[in-house]
Structure 1
Amino acid sequence: MPMEEHHHDLTDDVGERRGFLGAMATAMMAGGLIGGYGTFATYAGRFLYPSGGDKTSWQFLATVDQLKIGSSIPFETPVGSKVVVARQSEGSTAEDFIALSSVCPHLGCAVHWESQNNRFFCPCHNGAFDASGKATEGPPAAANQSLKRFPLMVENGLLFIKVPTESVRGTREA
């Protein structure tokens, strides 16, 4: 009889090991599924709800002394937006300068400064904007569309512009 009891104990041990290994395999499979679906959910969340972090930076433009009253310089942002920066008065603060998009909001044509008329002009449909970028004539005025304005900063005689560094879709604009 002692032999049968011993045989019975071995069968119990094998059954316990099999139960333990089955439980471990189930736990590992569940962990893998949770990890996989968790990763999928994370990427789906990033795609559907992108972070609204600040995608702008201050970029150096010129020294304050490089721009004389009435003069302007072109600038292209890291995402390809075209900007014109002009000096409007003799001071050396950000308020003495203006940075405006050089793209008409009506159809995307290039605007240029007409110093003789003290305005920005869009040749596509005779759109005109005053020195502050507000539409005054043509389709942009009818649609109340002004040129986009960019913030400027002067620090230690250096002129900086705050521009987007990433477009809405996260890719460079053409």
Structure 2
Amino acid sequence: MTSKPSMLYRISGGRFGRPPAKPETGCPGGCGCARAVAGGSGIQQTTTRRNFLRRNFLGFVGVGMAGFAATLAGIPIIGALFSTPARSEQIWHVVGEVDDFPVDETVKVEFVDVEAVPWSGPAARNAAWLRRTDEESFIAFSVYCTHVGCPVSWRAGASLFICPCHGGVFDREGEVVAGPPQSPLVRLDVRVQDGDVQILASPVPVTGERPS
């Protein structure tokens, strides 16, 4: 409800008397509602801005990580750590001179696998059992049993290769005599070049337990 201005207020041109009451706005709290509405709008704007910043930050992090990974892939050393080395050629390993090996004697020779990756450590070392059969001929066997890959030993008195892990036994030609191995010892290629005996190493297939 709106009250009328007093007579004095009208005569004095609004300088004296009671001014007319302001019309009711329907908001008992005066401008508090406006402040509340304004405050709510501010909260909404703040929340929207926070979400926007969060999305941009996550997007930036994702792009940054992708760029970092691409950079690592472009560094030769880092790339080598996460890649499988390609073997494009056969590599022969010199294990000694011909005169170092008596005829019909089986000896263990060791060599460093130059094809191994830089972090191989002791695993880069390889070995074989080598026998000189005549003046210029040799045969060689992988030192690893074909059962599960344990190194075999040579028993000269019995002319047998013995695996200490599961009792595998091989004759002097590498053929299975007893125990769980299913395959003979792996034959390695041997050659004589410029007086040096060279061995071409190869992976050893393992077969696991012999089926019953």
Report the TM-score, using the length of structure 2 for normalisation.
0.46
Out of 125, 135, 140, the residue aligned to residue 91 of structure 1 is 135
Is 1:57 matched with 2:91?
Answer: yes
CA contact (8 A) 1:128 1:137 kept: yes
Name the structure where strand makes up a greater proportion of residues: 1
Out of 150, 164, 189, the residue aligned to residue 151 of structure 1 is 189
Q: C-alpha separation between the residues in 1 aligned to 2:201 and 2:168? A: 25
Size of the alignment, in residue pairs? Answer: 122
The match for 1:131 is 172
* Structure 2 unpaired stretches of 5+: 1-69, 74-83, 114-123, 204-212
Amino acid at match of 1:83: A
* Structure 1 unpaired stretches of 5+: 1-39, 44-49, 167-174
1:68 positional shift:
0.5
Is 1:112 matched with 2:160?
Answer: no
Secondary structure of 2:180's counterpart equals: helix
Higher relative contact order (CA 8 A, sep 6+): 1
Amino acid at match of 1:125: H
Q: Could you say which structure has the larger radius of gyration?
A: 2
1:138 positional shift:
0.7
The match for 2:33 is none
1:51 positional shift:
8.7
The match for 1:36 is none
Name the structure where helix makes up a greater proportion of residues: 1
Cα–Cα, structure 1 residues 145 and 73, in superposed 2: closer, same or farther, change >3 Å? same
Q: C-alpha separation between the residues in 1 aligned to 2:86 and 2:111? A: 23
Task: Give CA deviations for 1:97-141 in whole Å, capped at 9, x if unaligned.
Answer: 12211111212222111111112111222211122222221101x
Report the TM-score, using the length of structure 1 for normalisation.
0.55
Task: Give CA deviations for 1:48-102 in whole Å, capped at 9, x if unaligned.
Answer: xx79753530121111111002431321341433322222x2321xxx3122111
| Pairwise CA RMSD | 3.3
The match for 1:81 is 126
Q: C-alpha separation between the residues in 1 aligned to 2:191 and 2:148? A: 30
Secondary structure of 2:201's counterpart equals: strand
